[in-house]
Structure 1
Amino acid sequence: MKKICSLLFVGVILLSTVSCSDDESIAESGPITLEFDNVVGATNLQLNTTNTPYTNAKGEAYKLTWLTYYVSNVKLKKADGTVFEDPIKSDGSAGYYLVDENDAASQEITLKNVPAGDYTEVTFTIGVDASQVDQGAQTGALDPAKGLFWSWNSGYIFLAIEGVSPASTETENVFQYHVGGYKADAASSQVNNVRTITLSFNGDTAPVRAQHEPEVHLLFDVNKFFNGTGEQVTFSTNASRHSPKACETLAGNIAASFVVDHVHAN
């Protein structure tokens, strides 16, 4: 009888230890939100305006009707140098996010179970490396029903921006830039336009704790995308691009279009 009691006592102690360990593990992680805010210079972007309120570096007026882009492979770096990587799944069910100006909820990406700590830097990819994605039916943000899948050879459109400008010679003065392409292949005129961006928090920290959710506010500036060092867009000469090769220079404008504006420690 004493042996049975002893065994029961040991079992209770072990269960308590495991339970405490689990609780401590949960307590040592928390969420963090990345908010992607689309702007035009110092102005918050508005789609489908009745006029053409924005102007590119060439002095061409325009308005936007659609803006969307894929964010993937998110990594957060702590002040001590350790890195958290957001888990991804090759069927698209995790780790891939589609930020859409038409969908406010999509502009806030919340990462859960992030190890507690003070984070000072974020890295993310604009695009989808289709070589890391299962061929066949995709789910979540990568569902072809989203209208952003070209083919397995060309991959996904990972940044789509459309609008209207009086300078455009296309039908109804529209412009359309669909940036994609995940591999370099000279024989088939394929190029790799996937871009990975690393941004510091400008001296701020995002303190992740249990029951404490900091928010990192990032800006994507449309004019920086149009006016970047890769190419300065002119709607009057080339307002429609729908292939990886045609958008190669535009992809060079992506990295400088994103900045960290501020961090809410909450």
Structure 2
Amino acid sequence: MKSTIKLIVLTFAFFAISCSSDDDGASNKDAVSTIKIKWDNIVGQKDMNIVEKQNLEYGYKTADNQDFNITAFGYYITNIILEGPNGERFEDEVSISAADAKGVYHIKEGDFASAATILQNVPVGKYNKITFTVGIPEEGVKEGAAGGVLDPAAGAWFWNWNAGYIGFAIEGHASTSSQAHNEIDGFVIPEKSFAIHIGGWRDITPLEGETPKFVNNIKTITLNFDSDVTVAESQEPSIHLLANAKALFDTSSVDFSTTYSVHAPILGKQFADVLDQVFSYSHVHQ
């Protein structure tokens, strides 16, 4: 009799544990956590070092031996999507208003606060791919007055309604640059400097005989991870992505003697077309 009672108790305990485990599994399906994206800016194999605007010391070389340095570097990132091998998917919400620009990130070298993007409410699971947009696409421009990192009054990189925002920018000096010292309305353009601003959110067909001015330079980039990244309630990974300034120059075959002042969408197209070569996956801290 005792053996029978003991068997019944053990059987009940087994089913109780099984049901408890099933319930926990069901509740965990809705569990979310946090993931960090760290934007690491580099030049070739070197860390990026920003110098003062009047500094003519060159720390880097292009593939064809043009010496250059960097005085400013940055880009806008939107529409971040994470995907996993088992159908996992997370889309970072983008909501732009006059008060804020949720889901829009302005990464600027030298600005420590902008170097990491924190994604909240990411469903737990495994992820092996990230997709993001470089630049501010149509929905960000057509909203009219925008707040947050898109507010021109707060230093946003805004051209005008037709051209939109500068989605990617790099400035510095180059040994071969033909830029002469210039002062315009109190603004100083140093000798030997260069400025490459990539922007433009739509194609506008020019009138007959008119020079093309506007082009859509918004780029969407997808990067695969070298292994699955696990997001769990007790595990908040940090994914490191690279933006390589040297790759921009080398893949576009830039010649600073003729290309040193890029301030219009059509002029930035040759650089926008190689942005997929600029960004890459580095590693993850799990």
TM-score (structure 1 length as normaliser): 0.86
Where does 1:163-202 land on structure 2 (aligned, <5 Å)?
163-170=172-179, 171=181, 172-187=191-206, 189-202=213-226
Alpha-carbon deviations, 1:198-226, whole Å to 9, x = none?
A: 00002x12211123210111111111011
Count of residue pairs brought into register by the alignment? 242
1:248 corresponds to which of 242, 249, 269: 269
State the SS of the aligned residue for 2:50.
coil
Amino acid at match of 1:58: D
The answer (yes or no) to whether the contact 2:34–2:118 under 8 Å persists in 1 is yes
Structure whose CA Rg is larger? 2
1:136 positional shift:
2.9
In structure 2, how many angstroms separate the alpha carbons of the residues matched to 1:196 and 1:262?
Answer: 21
The answer (yes or no) to whether the contact 1:67–1:161 under 8 Å persists in 2 is yes
The answer (yes or no) to whether the contact 1:54–1:63 under 8 Å persists in 2 is yes
1:27 positional shift:
6.9
38-47 vs 81-90, which deviates more? 81-90
CA RMSD for the aligned pairs?
A: 2.0
The answer (yes or no) to whether the contact 1:135–1:152 under 8 Å persists in 2 is no
In structure 2, how many angstroms separate the alpha carbons of the residues matched to 1:140 and 1:155?
Answer: 16
Q: 1:115 to 1:133 in 2, by over 3 A?
A: farther
The answer (yes or no) to whether the contact 1:162–1:176 under 8 Å persists in 2 is yes
Aligned: 1:150 with 2:153: no
The answer (yes or no) to whether the contact 2:96–2:147 under 8 Å persists in 1 is no
Aligned: 1:35 with 2:41: no
1:166 positional shift:
2.1
Aligned: 1:73 with 2:79: yes
Identity %: 35
Give the aligned partner of residue 14 of structure 1: none
In structure 2, how many angstroms separate the alpha carbons of the residues matched to 1:141 and 1:132?
Answer: 11
Amino acid at match of 1:177: I
1:130 positional shift:
3.0
Structure 1, unaligned stretches of length 5 or more?
1-19
In structure 2, how many angstroms separate the alpha carbons of the residues matched to 1:157 and 1:133?
Answer: 11
1:211 corresponds to which of 227, 234, 239: 234
248-257 vs 206-215, which deviates more? 206-215
1:143 positional shift:
1.3
State the SS of the aligned residue for 2:77.
strand
